[in-house]
Copies of this chain bind each other. A is one copy, B any other.
Amino acid sequence: MQFIPEFSDIERARKLIEGYIHHTPVLTSESINKITGSGIFFKCENFQKAGAFKFRGACNAVFTLAASGSDMKNGVATHSSGNHAAALALAAQIKGIAANIVMPVNSSEIKKRAVAGYGAIITFCEPTLESRESTLAKVIAETGATEVHPYNDFNVIAGQGTAALELIEEAGQFDVIMAPVGGGGLISGTAITVKKLLPGCRVIAAEPAGADDAFRSFRSGKLVPSVNPKTIADGLLTSLGSRNFAVIRDKVDDIVTVSEEKIIEAMRLVWERMKIVIEPSSAVPLAAILERKVDVINKKVGIILSGGNQDLEKLPF
């Protein structure tokens, strides 16, 4: 199997998962356009099933494994504290197979309930990468389940690329398309789609300054691991994956970093002006625009709003 997907893999993913995923709407806001001096089209993956774009990649991974004749009777497994866990649980439920999810004990109650609500078998671990990985290895040894990595996975990347495909089909030409970067699943899938369909369109990743391993990797040309990242954008705490980095080096035009203050300001702006619920990770590209890290004046810009799983009791404003 190839290391990274091509656009044809994304087209194949779309055929496989359509009918299971939501074709999410593309929204615009006159007041945000006025504030930024640009025309921004928001692809609303906060409305996706399980509340985030992660369901695209999880579906494509599970359905591709099932269609390939892999032995799936022992189910799938992953470690995740958040959106990938819920997405994989729901995708497995659709195929009627078990989802074994390793979650740190300190994961939010709302996320634990969501994962359990999709029928997953949860094994709790300590909130360290070592504990997550060793617990997952033990679960896989015991169950025989197939691991589906949250982002450093061929089929997951191909699935995430379908969001940009829908965005371009619906809204046409763009000058710039942006997405947040954490592990890199969304931005790598997005870049493969955009550079095929709109070769002249710039692809820009936005990352919290407090979790800037992708930025440093991109600038240095070497994969820099994430050490003690700190950001309110909890979906972006993960370390960039090797497959994701390979795509980013080849197809992403720039990575910019943003402050925590601007992430919160951008998040609030979307809630107040667009009347939609997004989680902090989703706000990072707009934060980069507000912080003037990206030139968008009089340009047509696409932003993928990655998810909407925000605990309403823990708002930053």
Partner pick for A312 among B46, B51, B313, B317, CB 8 A cutoff: B317
Interface pair B47/A308, CB less than 8 Å apart: no
Task: Kindly provide the distance from the CB of A185 to the nearest chain B CB, expressed in whole angstroms.
Answer: 20
Task: Kindly provide the distance from the CB of A104 to the nearest chain B CB, expressed in whole angstroms.
Answer: 22
Partner pick for A317 among B46, B271, B313, CB 8 A cutoff: B313
Bound form: Cα–Cα A30–B59 in Å = 18
Q: Counting CB contacts under 8 A, is A315 at the interface?
A: yes
> Among the interface residues A51, A272, A315, A317, which one has the most CB atoms of the partner chain B within 10 A?
A272
Produce 1/0 per residue, A271-285, CB < 8 A to B.
110111110000000
Interface pair B271/A312, CB less than 8 Å apart: yes
Interface pair B47/A275, CB less than 8 Å apart: yes
Interface pair B277/A271, CB less than 8 Å apart: yes
Bound form: Cα–Cα A282–B51 in Å = 22
Q: Counting CB contacts under 8 A, is A25 at the interface?
A: yes
Chain A interface residue count, Cβ-Cβ cutoff 8 angstroms: 17
On chain B, the residues within 8 Å of A47 by CB distance are 274-275
On chain B, the residues within 8 Å of A272 by CB distance are 277, 312
Q: Counting CB contacts under 8 A, is A54 at the interface?
A: no
Bound form: Cα–Cα A46–B308 in Å = 17
Q: Which residue of B lies closest to A308 (CB)?
A: B275
Q: Counting CB contacts under 8 A, is A268 at the interface?
A: yes
Partner pick for A275 among B268, B276, B315, CB 8 A cutoff: B276
Bound form: Cα–Cα A276–B312 in Å = 12
On chain B, the residues within 8 Å of A313 by CB distance are 317
Bound form: Cα–Cα A51–B272 in Å = 9
On chain B, the residues within 8 Å of A317 by CB distance are 312-313
On chain B, the residues within 8 Å of A275 by CB distance are 46-47, 51, 276-278, 308
On chain B, the residues within 8 Å of A271 by CB distance are 277, 312
Task: Kindly provide the distance from the CB of A194 to the nearest chain B CB, expressed in whole angstroms.
Answer: 25
Produce 1/0 per residue, A232-248, CB < 8 A to B.
00000000000000000
In residues 133-169 of chain A, which contact B (Cβ within 8 Å)?
Answer: none
Given contacts A47-B275, A275-B308, A276-B277, 13 further A-B contacts (CB under 8 A): A46-B275, A47-B274, A51-B275, A268-B312, A271-B312, A272-B312, A275-B276, A275-B278, A276-B276, A277-B277, A312-B315, A312-B317, A315-B315
The 9 closest A-B pairs by CB, nearest first: A275-B308, A275-B277, A46-B275, A276-B276, A312-B317, A47-B275, A271-B277, A271-B312, A275-B276
